[in-house]
């Protein structure tokens, strides 16, 4: 079963899933640094069996942006 995006994000950033909103970004999550961003991307790619382009990785700067990009990938399969 595929974990929710929120579950993956909350695990990578060590925060409570119920506190996570679509508006969260590196500006509002202290742990969202470049290293954890890469961990997040890898976790999502592994969980959903998808591969992001570098342009997508660079634009994944909010929870809603991440969800939208994942949706584009999973819609195609």
Averages of pLDDT over runs of 10 residues in the chain (77 residues) are: 85 95 96 97 96 97 97 82
pLDDT reported for residue 77 = 52
pLDDT reported for residue 3 = 76
Our CA angle for 63, 57, 70, nearest 5°, is 55
The single-letter DSSP state of residue 29 is -
The rounded distance, in Å, linking the Cα atoms of 9 and 16 is 10
Fold of 5-75: 1.10.1200
Does the pTM surpass 0.75? The reply is yes
């Amino acid at each position: 079963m595929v974990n929710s995006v929120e579950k993956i994000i909350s695990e990578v950033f060590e925060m409570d899933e119920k506190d996570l909103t679509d508006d969260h970004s590196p500006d509002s999550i202290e742990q969202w640094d470049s290293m954890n961003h890469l961990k997040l991307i890898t976790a999502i790619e592994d969980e959903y069996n998808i591969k992001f382009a570098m342009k997508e990785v660079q634009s994944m700067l909010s929870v809603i942006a991440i969800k939208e990009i994942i949706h584009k990938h999973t819609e195609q399969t």
